[in-house]
Amino acid sequence: MKRILVTGGAGFVGSHLCERLLKEKNDVICLDNFFTGDKRNIIHLLNNPYFELVRHDVTMPYFAEVDQIYNLACPASPIHYQYNGIKTVKTSVMGAINMLGLAKRIKARILQASTSEVYGDPKIHPQTEDYWGHVNPIGVRSCYDEGKRCAETLFMNYHTQNNVDIKIIRIFNTYGTNMHPNDGRVVSNFILQALKNEDITIYGDGTQSRSFQYVDDLVEGMIRMMNTNDNFIGPVNIGNPNEFTILKLAKIILELTGSKSKIVFLPATADDPTQRKPDISLAKKELNNWEPKIQLKQGLIRTIEYFDKLIKEGYC
């Protein structure tokens, strides 16, 4: 049995990761300040004696004896990370320093949940890990993009200078159950709008693209990366390479929900990446042929059922 710390464990991805780690008979500490996380995501785990919930902010030091640390704490949706940009940078940078300091002291392996946003509005397509990115350092997304880039820098330096056992994954757009209904990301927005027969809000002309990964595929990739051999530290892309325009996504969600919603086009948001698709050759090679198994419609059906239930229970 391993002792595992998951920062941001009450969030969307973190809650799925905690559940899976418990199923695999690990002892899990879930640390969260509940900025975007929700106790509802982990309430079913609270009776498990191998699960501990700690309310804590990663910008402050934390100590526990564990074997592995998954560092996920950070708001991930543009609305939430832009709400307090300074705090977002502090969470990424000071959170990384605190967790790397802990990993160094207790000799734990630590995995960073980095992001495709390190590539910014990419000029190469699909994105490979050796691409340095195209990021506006002072734009509205920079608190998140540059915070995550700096966190990667810290991870590499703690590794080369202090021999800390690190792993870095770059996560591409992920969706699924436990997403926050108000988190403003495209999949949750469109599903809720469609279920409520409200207008589907496309920012810009809808030709911008994303590649959507279902959360179970991400969790599988994360766990494989954490437990891969010592020599492979990443960064490695974890995402689903099937690319869709935002307009196409809206049409698929309308079809799956049978909604009467109309599509409306609103002004584009600043610095919105025009295209995004991971090259996952490295993940396939290094992570024992890892690749996404759940395709878009299948994952959307599960997510639609989840939000439909939340609406019926009066949560949104």
Q: Which of 144, 158, 175, 214 is catalytic?
A: 144
Those residues whose C-beta lies under 8 Å from the C-beta of residue 32, and which sit 6 or more positions away, are 7, 8, 9, 10, 11, 14, 53, 54, 55, 56, 73
CA 135, CA 205: separation in Å to the nearest integer?
22
Q: Which residue has the tokens 């295209």?
A: 275
Closest distance to ligand UDP from the beta carbon of 35 (Å): 17
Q: Is 216 in the site for ligand NAD (CB under 6 A)?
A: no
Is 81 a known active-site residue? no
Q: Is 173 in the site for ligand NAD (CB under 6 A)?
A: yes
**Nearest residue to 162 via CA among 95, 110, 87, 120:** 110
Binding residues with ligand UDP: total (CB under 6 A):
14
| Residue 78's binding partner out of ligand UDP, ligand NAD, none, with CB under 5 to 8 Å set by partner kind | ligand UDP
One of 203, 245, 256, 306 touching ligand UDP (CB under 6 A): 203
| Residue 10's binding partner out of ligand UDP, ligand NAD, none, with CB under 5 to 8 Å set by partner kind | ligand NAD
| Residue 131's binding partner out of ligand NAD, ligand UDP, none, with CB under 5 to 8 Å set by partner kind | none
| Residue 102's binding partner out of ligand NAD, ligand UDP, none, with CB under 5 to 8 Å set by partner kind | none
CA 284, CA 292: separation in Å to the nearest integer?
10
Footprint of ligand NAD on 54-83 (CB under 6 A) = 57-59, 72-76
Enter the DSSP assignment of 118. Answer: G
Pairing of strands 263-266, 200-203: parallel
CA 79, CA 217: separation in Å to the nearest integer?
25
- Report the residue number, 33 or 261, with the smaller CB distance to ligand NAD: 33
Q: Is 269 in the site for ligand UDP (CB under 6 A)?
A: yes
| Residue 59's binding partner out of ligand UDP, ligand NAD, none, with CB under 5 to 8 Å set by partner kind | ligand NAD
Closest distance to ligand NAD from the beta carbon of 114 (Å): 7
Q: Is 108 in the site for ligand NAD (CB under 6 A)?
A: no
Enter the DSSP assignment of 303. Answer: H
Tokens of 283: 């993940």
CA 102, CA 118: separation in Å to the nearest integer?
25
Q: Is 143 in the site for ligand UDP (CB under 6 A)?
A: no
**Residue 30 near residue 52 (C-beta atoms within 8 A):** yes
Alpha-carbon 33 to chain mean position? 17
One of 80, 170, 180, 185 touching ligand UDP (CB under 6 A): 185
- Report the residue number, 72 or 246, with the smaller CB distance to ligand UDP: 246
Those residues whose C-beta lies under 8 Å from the C-beta of residue 201, and which sit 6 or more positions away, are 189, 193, 264, 266
Catalytic residues: 144
**Interface residues toward ligand UDP, by CB under 6 A:** 77-78, 173, 185-186, 189, 201-203, 208, 210, 246, 269, 272
